[in-house]
Amino acid sequence: MFCPDCGTWNRAAAATCTRCGTRLPDVAAPPLDVPDEELRELRAATGNRYTIVKRLGSGGMAHVYLARHALLGRPLVIKVLHRSLSQEPEMRERFRREAEAASRLVHPYICAIADMGTSGHIEYLVMPYYAGGSLADLLSRRKTVGATTAAAVAAQVATGLDYAHRRGVIHRDIKPDNILFDEDGNVALTDFGIATARFHGRLTASGRAMGTPHYMSPEQAMGRLVDGRSDLYAVGLLLYEMLLGHPPFDGEDSYAVGYKHVHEAPVAPDQVDTRVPPVLSAIVMKCLAKQPAERYDRGFELGDALVQFLATVGGADHRAARTARVSGLTPF
């Protein structure tokens, strides 16, 4: 986890920061009451292959449980589609598509799908448990992170996206909640539920904006067809928020936010906070160009730019990002 005082990454099991000695918070989610009937249904649906430990939380689409493999004992996460949504064919299809899309992407910076299944109204996915929490967790504890940490995280995100894009998969919902960390601080992209792919044209018709308003590209907000450069726009939004503590655009509703993505120019990060290095600010602004043709063409190029920036400052973040660049971005 990241230290709330100095921003240094520490292993999940660490009690204090290795750099400044600050006592690290316990980020484990508190157990939530889960009805016995719900547990029985989930255990029956999974064939008792998993021991359900507790419910970690609930999102707009699914309940999330911490579990352990009944035989191997390793921690896992089980996502269960909300019962009300499981009655809707399109939502069931979207949920299954997350598993299909992720199963095609075997990469260190993409969250794998370990299992999936259906039983009655229960639809579930099984994924690895990431002890470092999410980028959203980090930003809720520490409003901003340092420039080198932000660049290293974004470089790994770009690495995973480049791999996905080369295999015809566009994520379309890159946001802090969907960026997970393992105990060593490595990134894992998750939630490919609304990803577009060559093999999923029927659920990605133009004219319908899908994604999260604060992290949508202009073309997404207009309901147009998107390509990988739309995801790279979202990486620019992540960088902006990590550096400044807020996304570049906000509004009273999703329409107002979408309008700003389409029509308003963001203020450059180094103009908001002079501590942001101009080189990194320029990278962010290139990601946030309104026209896709003016952005980085591929995650490979964005990753290169971030690694070059980190090379100018050195340190562990540079070494980690360079490793990501060599191991994850090399085409194969």
Query: Which sequence positions are flagged as catalytic?
Result: 173
Does 207 have pLDDT greater than 50?
Answer: no
- Full-model pTM: 0.80
What is the distance between the alpha carbons of residues 27 and 44, in angstroms, rounded to a whole number?
30
Evaluate if residue 135 carries a pLDDT over 60: yes
Domains, the chain, in order of start with CATH, read: 36-128 (3.30.200.20), 135-329 (1.10.510.10)
152 pLDDT band, cuts 50/70/90, is very high
Of 163, 152, 108, 145, which Cα lies nearest the Cα of 321? 152
What pLDDT, in 10s, does the model give residues 43-87? 888 888 898 888 888 776 788 899 999 888 899 999 888 877 777
Find all residues with CB under 8 Å of 225, minimum gap 6, and list them.
204, 206, 219
Taking only the tens place, the pLDDT of each residue in 3-54 is: 555 444 555 556 666 555 666 655 444 444 555 677 788 888 888 889 888 8
pLDDT in tens, 231-240: 999 999 999 9
Cα gap 80→313, rounded to integer Å: 43
Express each pLDDT in 184-204 by its tens digit.
889 999 987 655 543 333 334
Q: What is the pLDDT of residue 90?
A: 79
Q: Which residues contact 122 (CB under 8 A, 6 or more apart)?
A: 41, 42, 45, 80, 81, 86
Q: Cβ–Cβ contacts within 10 Å for residue 107, how many?
A: 19
Residues 73-82 as b/e (b if ≥16 CB within 10 A, e otherwise) read eeebbbbbbb
Residue position matching structure tokens 């963001």: 266
Place of tokens 């299909």: 100
